[in-house]
Structure 1
Amino acid sequence: MKPPAFKAKIFVPFKGIDWRINSSKLMYGGYFLFLTIGLIASQVNLSSNNDFSIRTLLFSILGLIFYSAYWGSQEKEQKYGKLEGELEICVERIRINDYSYSWTEIEKFEFRIFQVVDEILWTETYPIERYYGGPAYSQGVNNFIEFMVDDKKVKVFFQLETPSHKVELRRMIRLLFFHDRIDLSTTYLGLNLEYEETQELKKAKGKYLEDQQSKVSS
């Protein structure tokens, strides 16, 4: 029987500045123009014609800010980078494309799990951030693992494609904990577990070990 393994597409962030326009940049650019023009106009004596033009411009910029807020509520993330390669995690090793790292050489393993593709951002923890612009729907590539090998840090971002893909990863993390590949604090911090859930996880590990021992005995 083939041992269980979690697989995902690797996300490779690009270096440099992302010049693409999105709702967040449009909103903050609108804020900057609105405040700058308003400040200059308040310090200068304007004729009635110029005053009308400035007011029209400011209302236009305000409309642009409201439009960017609407755009953000419909927008999907387009992270500055590309999907390339494959990550595989199993009880025996971590494979990143053609490179494999056994758990015996891995140190200081950490991970974080966030959204899947098209999952709504911010709503659970920081709903007010929806008013600050930016995409409403995730690309699912903020998830990552990080560890040390021979004093070298390895950090890989990867995409969670569906809710079931996320469940698959959580199951693999539990299995790694059951096999002592990662410790308890790493597990509950990465999974964002509450105290009660952590206690249930510890009980589940004990039961898993008992079941494995009974299988060996039989």
Structure 2
Amino acid sequence: MLFSASIFYPKRARSFDFTLSEKLTFYSIIAIILYVLLLLFIETSFGYDISIYAYYLLIVPIITYIIGGAIRLTEYENINGTFLGTISFEDEFLVIDAKQYQYSKIENLILHGNSYSGQRNENTRSGPMYSNGTNNLISFNYKGEKIWRNFKLDSERHIDELQLALLQIITNEKIPYQRKYLNLINLEHRTYIKFELFIAKLIKEKRIECTEGLLLIGYDSDVQAKELREKYCC
């Protein structure tokens, strides 16, 4: 087995499935606004001179708001869905829910696999600080059927395992070559000699242009680019 992960079935809508910190933050803000509006309404409508001490009660929702902000610093997103079954990359086929899909018959493979559990969210101002690693997707066509699944990555190491599996499948042409499949391999794994040799093969077989191939391999200087060109393009 090259790679394995849990399949995730998300709910259709997030709705009001707030985390604890989101609930505390949201409800405390609503409480502050409504309480202030209530006091202003009483003063303007009935002419009552409300004591300043009445406003001291705002300390309660303010403290709640602060607590919510503190909780979010160690909080993960809610698991808004269910886990059922596994997806795995084997040597000759992909397995989803115990059903085998031959690589040679897979078409239009699309894969997004960069979200892992414990990853810091891009939104650092509100809401939970960490991702639960379920925002990953694989989809493809197989014998006229469209297949797609979300899956969970547990750590950065899990991403590395996925990338090594893709490197193995794509460079060994287990799945029929398409130029766009090279984009599934991230920059780190394009530095592997296995990837470089595969690009060299594509260049020599004229399945990819020399310049594009060298850009995929990557180089740090014009001197290195010249060396690569002489090595693989002549």
Q: Distance in 2 between matches of 1:160 and 1:51?
A: 53
2:22 is paired with a residue of what secondary structure?
helix
Which has the higher relative contact order, 1 or 2, with Cα contacts under 8 A spaced 6 or more apart? 1
The one-character-per-residue Cα deviations of 1:150-205 (angstroms, maximum 9, x if unpaired) are 554322122222333221111111223213426443442x45549xx589886242
Asked whether the equivalents of residues 18 and 80 of structure 1 are also in contact (C-alpha less than 8 Å), the reply is: no
Q: Which residue of 2 aligns with 1:216?
A: none
Query: Normalising to structure 1: TM-score of the pair?
Result: 0.70
Q: Distance in 1 between matches of 2:65 and 2:152?
A: 31
1:71 Cα deviation from its structure 2 partner: 0.5
User: Residues 199 and 169 (structure 1 numbering): CA distance in 2 closer, same or farther, change over 3 Å?
Assistant: closer
Q: Distance in 2 between matches of 1:155 and 1:111?
A: 10
Q: How does 1:1-218 map to 2 (within 5 A)?
A: 4-15=1-12, 17=15, 19=17, 21-38=19-36, 41-42=39-40, 45=43, 47-49=48-50, 52-53=53-54, 55-117=55-117, 119-122=118-121, 126=122, 129-134=123-128, 136-180=129-173, 181=175, 183-188=178-183, 190-191=184-185, 193=187, 203-206=196-199
Asked whether the equivalents of residues 167 and 185 of structure 2 are also in contact (C-alpha less than 8 Å), the reply is: no
- The one-letter code sitting in structure 2 at the alignment partner of 1:159 is K
Q: Distance in 2 between matches of 1:144 and 1:168?
A: 16
- The one-letter code sitting in structure 2 at the alignment partner of 1:94 is L
- The one-letter code sitting in structure 2 at the alignment partner of 1:145 is I
Query: Normalising to structure 2: TM-score of the pair?
Result: 0.66
- The one-letter code sitting in structure 1 at the alignment partner of 2:22 is S
Larger Rg: 2
Identity %: 20
Larger deviation, residues 86-95 vs 22-31: 22-31
1:120 Cα deviation from its structure 2 partner: 3.5
Asked whether the equivalents of residues 141 and 157 of structure 1 are also in contact (C-alpha less than 8 Å), the reply is: yes
User: Residues 208 and 174 (structure 1 numbering): CA distance in 2 closer, same or farther, change over 3 Å?
Assistant: farther
Q: Distance in 1 between matches of 2:43 and 2:185?
A: 59
1:88 Cα deviation from its structure 2 partner: 1.0
Q: Distance in 2 between matches of 1:61 and 1:68?
A: 10
